[in-house]
Amino acid sequence: MNIALSFDVEEDLHSPTFESLKLGIPRLLKILENRNIKVTFFVPAKLLEKFPNIFLKLEKQGHEIALHGYEHERFDDLSIKEKQRRIKESIKIYKKIFDKNPEGFRAPQHSIDSATLKLLKRNNFIYDSSYTPFNFLQLFFFPRKFKLWIKGFFQPLCVNKLEEGIYEIPISSFFVPFVSLTLRIFSRRILKIYLFFVKLFNRDIIFYAHSWDFIELPQSKIDRNFPYFKLTENLDFLINDFFKDKKFLRLEELI
């Protein structure tokens, strides 16, 4: 069993700022450095264009930089023509910064659909990581996207090749996804029980959080009740204690 940590980098929640780039990502890197763990960052192309040096530095440190849309838009709400335009523009920005093609993609808000997957394959992406199978929480947050939720719910809980010809690396789940919210809300004892079932049902374990999960968010009810430092403490526990005998990989290494 391998473990992969992934992080969606976006503007700060409830605020058009980017404090998470200055404070959040350095906090995350400090947790990772004890075991020299390399992770995958999913970043909107326009954010790459705005802060290229930050992400060039992360790539030089051995982390994977993948795409998270053009400007953090829902892809299932776009026309085919607009999907293609935004994917093309994203690739153009990515290549200008990193001098290579992007391999990975994660649709914002799990908004992947078959048309987008086909376009990713046509544009030489290797994998997508947008599905979260066996996840009831997604329907709670996006109740109007029932059809999209149903399709994602019954996807395999392992790395697999989709009928659209592209690999899917699903986020691990057991009724609720293995994401930052579980590390914020669950006590250490409940977290251990939850992860027992995650390990039981998922061949590889893929975790994800947002860059803003690692900063204080005064306007967020979740952060006020379940502060970011509980997330950092539990992530540190998982890396250095619970998964201390496991190998951590970037998502691209799971293919």
Work out the average pLDDT over 41-50: 98
Question: What is the residue extent of each domain of the chain?
Answer: 2-254
pLDDT band at residue 161 using 50, 70 and 90 as cut-offs: very high
Q: Taking the model in full, what pTM does it have? A: 0.94
The most distant pair of C-alpha atoms in the chain lies apart, rounded to whole Å, by 49
With a pLDDT cut of 70, the percent of the chain lying above it is 97
Say whether pLDDT at 148 is over 80: no
Question: 2-254 architecture in CATH?
Answer: Alpha-Beta Barrel (3.20)
3-state helix/strand/coil string of 167-178: EECCCCEEEEEC
Predicted confidence band of residue 136 (pLDDT cuts 50, 70, 90): confident
- pLDDT value at position 203? 86
CA-CA distance, 186 to 233, in Å (whole number)? Answer: 12
d(CA 99, CA 63): 16
- In contact, 112 and 90? CB cutoff 8 Å: no
Closest of 4, 66, 1 to residue 38, by C-alpha: 4
Q: How confident is the model at residue 143 (pLDDT cuts 50, 70, 90)?
A: low
Report the alpha-carbon distance of residue 34 to residue 106 in Å, rounded.
27
Q: What is the DSSP letter of 136?
A: S
Does residue 141 surpass a pLDDT of 70? no
